[in-house]
A and B are shown apart, each in its own frame.
Chain A
């Protein structure tokens, strides 16, 4: 089965600082999803990446998928307290019994101090 490893596990930054969260897969990624979760709540979809080298941005958040499709990064520019939460990467299985199966990394807890 596909294993996703996120780093760091937690991150504390001062408001205005940039930060990066990484997600590494044990297998080639067919589709990579980034979600944000507030404590005790559901997941909010941020972005989906499918092609090697693909990069997407939404407001101050940019996500990239490397050419080999085994690693993704999420970068936040000029962080704000509203960015605080748990960031989760999720991946689709590539085929066979894993096709369409969405599994997640363990999450990265982001704290932004004003």
Chain B
């Protein structure tokens, strides 16, 4: 079974630039999560989708971050414009439903300079 795929693996951008991350969840998984993990901290949930609807985006900085999951499969997370404090690993995860174990992708390491 293929795992959660994320791209790119690494990204370096200058502050105020825009960046987008892509995630392809495990086939058949209805729930998709985006997490931000700053060095030395645990992952922080940014947004959670159930199929193509948003379940929770309470910690998503909506003035600069946006996410979508068209057709309830792939998802993209965008940052526009980026700030230095956005430097982190962005993790995508999926689960069969909202109360089963989540499987994580390898993450995208973003460095904002």
Contacts and interface: CB of A to CB of B under 8 A. Distances in A.
B72 interface: no
A80 B66 CA distance: 42
Contact of A88 (B42, B89, B103): B42
Nearest to B42: A104
Chain A: interface secondary structure? strand
Contact of B43 (A6, A92, A104): A104
Contact of B48 (A4, A42, A101): A101
Q: Interface size for chain B: under 10, 10 to 19, 20 to 34, or 35 or more residues?
A: 20 to 34
Interface stretch (B11-19, B74-82, B93-101): B93-101
Nearest to A105: B42
Given A40-B89, A100-B31, A45 B103 contact: yes
A102 interface: yes
Contacts of B89: 40
B102 A106 contact: no
Nearest to A47: B101
15 contacts: A4-B42, A30-B99, A31-B99, A40-B109, A42-B4, A42-B104, A43-B93, A45-B104, A88-B42, A88-B43, A92-B99, A99-B99, A101-B55, A104-B44, A106-B41
Interface of A: 4, 6, 30-31, 33, 35, 40-45, 48, 88, 90, 92, 97, 99-107
